[in-house]
Amino acid sequence: MRDIRSSLGSWRLEVRVSSSILALIPIAFTTILLVIPVAYILASLITSLGDGLSYVYVKLPPDGELYRVYNMGSSTLLALTGYDFGPIANTLILASTVSITSTCLALVTAVTCLSFRGALRLLLGYAVPLIASLPAPLISAYAIIHLFHRDFGLLNMVIGPLLGVRIALEGIAGVAVYQILSFYPIAHLIILSYMELIDRSVIEAAYSLGDRGLGVTSKILVPLARPAILVSISLIFILSAEDLSGPIAFSRYNSARNTMSYIAYYDFVSELGYTISVRALTYIALLTIIAVAVFTSTWRYLKSYSYPVASPARIILDLGLLRVPLAITTLLLMALATLPTMLVLGYSITEGWFGSSTPTGVTIGNYVKVVLNPYYARALINTVAYTVVAVMLAVTVAYIASYSSLRTKSRLSPLVEISTVIPIVIPGIAVGIGYFYLFHNTFKQIPILDPMVNPPLYLVLAYASRRLTYASRPLAASLQKIPLSFEEQALNLGAKVVGTIRTIILPLTLNPMMVGALLTAIHVSTEFSVSIVLAGAHGVTANHPAPVTPVVLGALTYNPLSIHVMSALLVATLLTSTITSIIAMLLVTALTSELGLRKTMILARGVRA
């Protein structure tokens, strides 16, 4: 008995020491690659703080109009434009409107999906929102323009003859609708996945007391889902505030250009390589401070949301007479949210569709152009290479962070948790500009380390650090469910901590690790803000270092009709990058765990988080 206790004590001591050392890796990773570059930008503002305050203002009364009404003869045109209150107020109003609206819509559809069963629940609850949430930066914003254009809008072709009214989205109103349709599926998945974990017995107890429908929803379900609702609002607020795709797509209107992220990007591009304007510094600092403040206010809910405990049975809601109207509403919302993604796929196999109501033809020629054009093919190859390296780096750091924070409760554990969540909080425009000026000023005499000369190094590091959250969340949730006794038994047989991780923990967490790798690959290959800042300035050559998104931006800026080829480029890149990343992760896992490729494939398919 004493030998067993002694061995367990020595095992716990070894785990504590090893985990403390491992905990320093993700903390240092996030600090060096995210905190220091952004802090460098913020520190640069201190000497010009007085000048920076001159850019903190609100326009009262605001410029522009909320909407305009035009008589088009056979129909009435309602052009939604939106007021212009200035960059700061525009950003805050836009982010608040988008986050609250998206979360409210998601709450309705999530509750409705809980009343469905079987395939319908899987389809509308998860499959359709996942498809709708696939990122297609800039192109999906152009798809919104195509849907609501005053002349050739696809939805206006339907509602115009039926209702006699056409709706045109222009200015910051168009940005708001684009962001709502882009972020609403994310909010839906966050809320629904949390509600699925609420104990069914609580709902059944309410039913036994005679409560039904909205009573159960408002009194029990919504209060219990409060952490997910607050996480949704805070996350989408941050995503909306930092978004660049919407403002760039609608940049012909003043109100759309007058957001903090767009102005910071515009000033950076205008003064590339020379200096950074005080205005850009001010707005980057405000975006970062606002994002960190929102993150801090909801941190305790983020922690409770990260590691939910599954309930023994799924909830089946009885919505009574409201079920049919809510089901119709859910179908319409899901269809509308999926339209931009469907249009991106449609553009990739058609020609002459954007700018008209119908395509002139169906073709695979867009994909042929992607392969044959050396500039586009180079962008695809670059993105795949950057994605594979960034995914492996992010998953490795995420694995270390998850194990060190969950297997021991040291003083560093809270910092490790924060280091894996805060990357999603820091605005991409701040990271990109921070990387450029910090490392350019530091290494301008060493070309290979200068981001202006060699951006691939910093693109990979920025991708891996910014998307660390996507890799770590599935791993942490799965690792928490593995009994500690597995590792104690391995110790009794003479195994070391590293060997235990490699031979026991790694096989048991292989499935969630692949989920994290998939999510990371999707978001790395479509990263927009960091990519256009670090690689957007390089010229059009067959050997350019840019990934796909700067190429898409350049093409659509000069020729919006190139959206068909750009859609094919983005779809091909997304598929190739994710598939290649998963294959690379499986091969590395097979080699490091000594499982062999066949067993690794079986575990990847069969083990559930």
What is the per-residue pLDDT for 311?
Answer: 41
**Chain centroid offset of residue 323 CA:** 31
What is the per-residue pLDDT for 232?
Answer: 92
What is the per-residue pLDDT for 306?
Answer: 46
Tokens 């891996």 belong to which residue?
Answer: 464
Q: How many helices (H) and strands (E) does the chain have?
A: 33, 5
- Alpha carbon distance 51, 301 (integer Å): 37
What is the per-residue pLDDT for 601?
Answer: 62
Domains of the chain: 2-47+368-606 (1.10.3720.10), 64-345 (1.10.3720.10)
- Going by C-alpha positions, the residue among 501, 523, 265, 266 that lies closest to residue 391 is 523
DSSP character string of 516-542: HHHHHHHHHHT--HHHHHHSTTS---T
- Alpha carbon distance 473, 306 (integer Å): 7
- CA 478 → CA 134, 239, 406, 509, distances in Å? 24, 26, 11, 6
* Contact assessment for residue 573 and residue 384, using Cβ atoms and an 8 Å cutoff: yes
As beta bridge partners, residue 167 has 78
- CA 436 → CA 409, 531, 573, distances in Å? 37, 11, 25
* Contact assessment for residue 457 and residue 535, using Cβ atoms and an 8 Å cutoff: no
**Residue 428, CB half-sphere, CA atoms under 13 Å: how many?**
24
Instruction: Tally the residues of the chain.
Output: 609
* Binned average pLDDT, 10 residues per bin, the chain of 609 residues: 52 56 87 93 84 87 89 84 93 96 95 88 91 93 93 88 88 95 94 84 75 75 88 93 94 92 90 76 93 85 52 67 89 94 95 88 93 92 95 92 76 84 91 91 87 90 93 82 70 66 74 86 93 74 83 91 95 94 82 64 53
Whether pTM > 0.75 for this model: the answer is yes
φ and ψ at residue 48, rounded to 5 degrees: -120, 30
* Contact assessment for residue 301 and residue 232, using Cβ atoms and an 8 Å cutoff: no
- CA 246 → CA 82, 117, 138, 544, 553, distances in Å? 14, 36, 7, 26, 12
- Going by C-alpha positions, the residue among 259, 283, 263 that lies closest to residue 86 is 259
439-475: pLDDT as tens digits: 988 988 888 888 888 899 999 999 999 999 999 888 8
384-419: pLDDT as tens digits: 999 999 999 999 999 888 888 777 667 778 888 888
What is the per-residue pLDDT for 573?
Answer: 95
